[in-house]
Amino acid sequence: MTLLQFPADRRTGDVRRCAETLSDLHGHAANQFWRTEMAEFARSMRQRGADDQEISRQAALFMHAVQMELQMMFAEQDADVSAG
């Protein structure tokens, strides 16, 4: 039986958590946070039996979702500044 992974880009709680954390970090701290998150992400998927190709695909989906969330957060901040 093949175990299907829940699509990483739909893990909205994790996506938001990472985006919120990254919005407050810069430089080395942001890089270190992201590397730690991705290492845990890969470890968790590997434990569930995912191969390297699937881990890479899911990591790319997750990274894109976090980037989109960050863009939405920044757009909302800009709209709030413009309105206020």
- What are the sequence ranges of the domains in the chain? 42-76
Predicted TM-score of the model (pTM): 0.85
Provide the percentage of residues in the chain whose pLDDT is more than 90. Answer: 74
Mean pLDDT taken over the chain: 90
pLDDT at 37 over 70: yes
Quick one: pLDDT at residue 1?
A: 44
Angstrom CA distances, 51 to 37, 46, 48, stand at 18, 7, 9
